[in-house]
Structure 1
């Protein structure tokens, strides 16, 4: 395709997103005003699907055995790459949309509407994947990991999503993370009259924490193990027969995370052995794998931001985790952060919630839609970009 023709189509993409600006803002306001936690996002899913259905997308209203997940597809004039734009729309318990998912679920829809305007002149397909339960606050959280396991991301060639922030950051390298619970079971006894008859579950919990502390100096940089005791007895005159530990474990790579989790399990086993307690390890959420932004795709996203006149930070590391990382191990993926307010915004706060329903937030949503749409267009129309992105992806996966 000639450069002049590409520029014409890009202008149509931008114009289509602008033409839908008011509907997109109306949609994001509705989702902000109707917050739903993970796997309960029925209203959000329905309004997003309705916008796409009206635009001629083929809809699957339930995928991967998840009631609030969906797939919407619009095909081009011939076979070609399948580019996925991911939409996440769950809220936080209690506070609502204090992570901006109302904005960038709709940003994904805006990007898809832009591409759909020109897709019939291109080879390939644009695929919107609705991915519930990103926030790690519900059982089986990590909706993208669930959908990967169910095959929803099979045959996807590249994927993208944006997230809200106080700054615009194109490549943010995030960590792998796991949340586990450990239940130690001992035997209750009177702490004064017959302590020798008891088996102290709280001691097992404390020993586990001490064991972890004893090996911290051997952890690699960016490894974080944060344990808390959420239950450790009821009365001081009774030997506790139950202790519940909760641990957040993070590492810069998924293979490092796996090794750290093995060490933590050894700490648990040792504590159980010494105290004669029994133990159970519970993992009711998916492991979030580290995010590997595809640099070649990121260069295209950067170019789009520059053409839109948007300042950005090229690259940084952060100890946050996001299930978009799991997708980055499946296909070339980008997950940029987009400015929605002042640069000191902190996620999961009332201030962030208000920014998610502000004019600056709406503008960030539109910027994300345009930049994703232009990046998807580049991937669909540039065999050279596809080759470079896939080559980089294969090297990173092989060298993990």
Structure 2
């Protein structure tokens, strides 16, 4: 009997629609902070186990991370008993491995980074994810980001009776903050630098002996990120010297700029267009302001793509006032329409992933492009 793998795959997703909607609502109604996603991890891993995935909970020594794998050996055998017997791999006897990675804390320290270092992404031909947003984007271009936490140490004294005996750590923070602000006008238009003061002292009548601040710096290339870090470090050290303070600098996070593999991205885009999605041109996408993501670190290691789907429209219409990280966005994410847009994006990713398994030339082209990018980025 002749089968159509793509059609079988879409049918499997449609059969799972009600279950996926239920999962989405459960997780939406139980919001959790980064590295505290215990409910979400359990909810997803329980479901994946029922589907026949081989699930590793607390993966990579991270409490809320998980790895779920499904392997089909192409000879009628596989490594788990799946209730979804009509899924594309089994029904069409497709040989390969599908790995779903539960990566926590994308908005803070980035769970993908330690998981990457601990081997969770090893052996993959491609890695793809999609992010909800207020518009449909193929070539989303998140900036790389680094975070510096600095702590200035001075000497306390009474601010009225003996200020000359003190060394003001807050002055060092103020100098650093202002100097970074002045430096910003000489950086590239796409770069971003933003800071907060995390400790400015304990009382106004005491010269602060300890003050601290955090700075995020973002750029579109690794060399430009390195340049910004060097410039900021010089400012920090100079501010400490000028005020007589000592300083401790701690780099607590770094996300690399996203490298969209055009072979994967364009194939996903073609499937999404066939399902009714609308996209801007690549030139427009790549100059649209974006945040940062730890998926950038992944795409520096394996061919990958990271498109965005509009949760508020199937026709590509942007809802006025809708933006990510807002209360309105959280409300829209719970709607039936948002679910439909997510299912469509899942179909696009799944069909692209199926091509990675079935089309050796397609997969080779993606790897070759990645190798050329890697060589040029060194």
Q: When the two structures are superposed, what TM-score results if normalisation uses the length of structure 2?
A: 0.90
Q: Given the alignment, which residue of 283, 306, 311 partners 2:278?
A: 311
Aligned match for 2:37, one of 35, 41, 54? 41
How many residues align? The count is 359
Contact kept? 1:13, 1:115, Cα under 8 Å:
no
> How far does residue 238 in structure 1 lie from its aligned partner after superposition?
2.4
Structure 2 CA distance, aligned partners of 1:133 and 1:301?
26
- The answer on whether the counterparts of 1:16 and 1:113 sit within 8 Å (CA) in structure 2 is no
Equivalent residue of 1:171, what SS? Answer: coil
Q: Which runs of 5+ in 1 are unaligned?
A: 80-111
What is the CA deviation profile of residues 297-323 of structure 1, one whole-angstrom value per residue up to 9, with x for unaligned ones?
011101111221222234313331011
Q: Which one of 367, 378, 383 corresponds to residue 360 of structure 2?
A: 383
Cα distance in 1 for residues equivalent to 2:298 and 2:147: 19
| Cα displacement string for residues 264-290 of structure 1 (whole angstroms, at most 9, x for unaligned residues) | 111111111111101112344x31111
Q: Which moved more, 1:311-320 or 1:175-184?
A: 311-320
**Aligned partners of 1:314, 1:297: CA distance in 2, in Å?**
16
Which residues in structure 2 correspond to 1:81-120 (within 5 Å)? 117-120=87-90
In 2, Cα distance between equivalents of 1:258 and 1:142:
19
User: Comparing 67-76 with 114-123, which one deviates more in the overlay?
Assistant: 114-123
What is the CA RMSD across the aligned residues, in angstroms?
A: 2.2
Q: Does 1:322 align with 2:293?
A: yes
2:269 is matched with 302
Partners of 2:293 and 2:302 lie apart in 1 by 16
Cα shift at 1:214: 4.1
Q: Deviation of residue 251 (structure 1)?
A: 0.8
Change (3 A) 1:302 1:188: same
Aligned in 2, Cα 1:56/1:190: closer, same or farther, shift over 3 Å? same
User: Which of the numbers 227, 232, 251 marks the counterpart of 2:195?
Assistant: 227
Cα 1:183–1:175 change in 2 (3 A) is same
- Provide the secondary structure at the position in 2 that maps to 1:173: coil
Pick from 351, 356, 367: which aligns with 1:374? 351
**23-32 vs 259-268, which moves further:** 259-268
How far 1:5 moved relative to its partner? 6.5
Who is 1:60 aligned against?
A: 56
CA distance in 1, matches of 2:19, 2:167: 62
Please tell me whether the aligned partners of residues 222 and 256 of structure 2 are also in contact (alpha carbons under 8 angstroms). Answer: yes
Aligned pairs for 1:167-246 (under 5 A) are 167-246=135-214
- Please tell me whether the aligned partners of residues 116 and 126 of structure 1 are also in contact (alpha carbons under 8 angstroms): no
Q: Are 2:353 and 1:397 equivalent residues in the alignment?
A: no
Partner secondary structure for residue 180 of structure 1? strand
- Is 1:75 equivalent to 2:64 in the alignment? no
Q: Structure 1-normalised TM-score? A: 0.85
